[in-house]
Amino acid sequence: MFLKRFLPLLIIIIFPLTTSSDENLSKSKVFLEKLGQEVIEKVSNIDITDSERQNNFKKLYLSSFDNYYISKFVLGRYWKTIDKQVQKKFVDSFNNYIVATYAPKFKGWEGTFKAVDSQIENNYYNVKMNVINKEGPKMKMMWKLYINKNNKFKILDVNLEGVSMLVTQRAEFLSVIKNHPQGVFGLIDAMNKRASAVGS
């Protein structure tokens, strides 16, 4: 009697959640393919200046990636050793460093981004993608993203051929901090110099 009474309510509650989840699996693939197309149009384009390329890349990065989480992750255990003012300084420097490092790599790049599968695990979407170069081998990528409180996708990590870019970047930064006499401040200075050198 109890089950018979509440079964319709359970169906009403569960079914929309399942439908929404299925829709978001498809939307996560569309989101990444659209991002890839924007990179080609706004960053790879050889007819724009390097300054425009960097500005366009930065806009795409800040709007699509959870840059605060990424900055915190790559700094690892050192994040808690610095105050909020230095944390903000680190985030800003890291964002500029990412732009300076990756924007030039896309100049003149030709290819396509094809999302082939999307799965959800613990509220995170794992999207498999093939990056097909016009000339060269096909690369396999795995993107990790989630939906934020504004109902927008945010990227947390990119896995290229089995290698996490976040884990790789953190290992590199921790090595710099460990070997630099100024620690985190030395890393920030190095990132700023890198960004300035590319932007000049």
Each residue's pLDDT, cut to its tens digit, for the chain (200 residues) gives 544 555 444 444 444 444 456 799 999 999 999 999 999 999 999 999 999 999 999 999 999 999 999 999 999 999 999 999 999 999 999 999 999 999 999 999 988 999 999 999 999 999 999 998 877 778 899 999 999 999 999 999 999 988 999 999 999 999 999 999 999 999 999 999 999 987 65
Helix (H) or strand (E) holding 170: helix 165-179
Give the CATH number of domain 14-199. 3.10.450.710
> Where do the domains of the chain lie?
14-199
Query: How far does CA 162 lie from the centroid of its chain?
Result: 16
Give the up-direction half-sphere exposure of residue 28: CA atoms within 13 A in the CB hemisphere: 27
Half-sphere exposure of 164 (CA within 13 A, CB side): 12
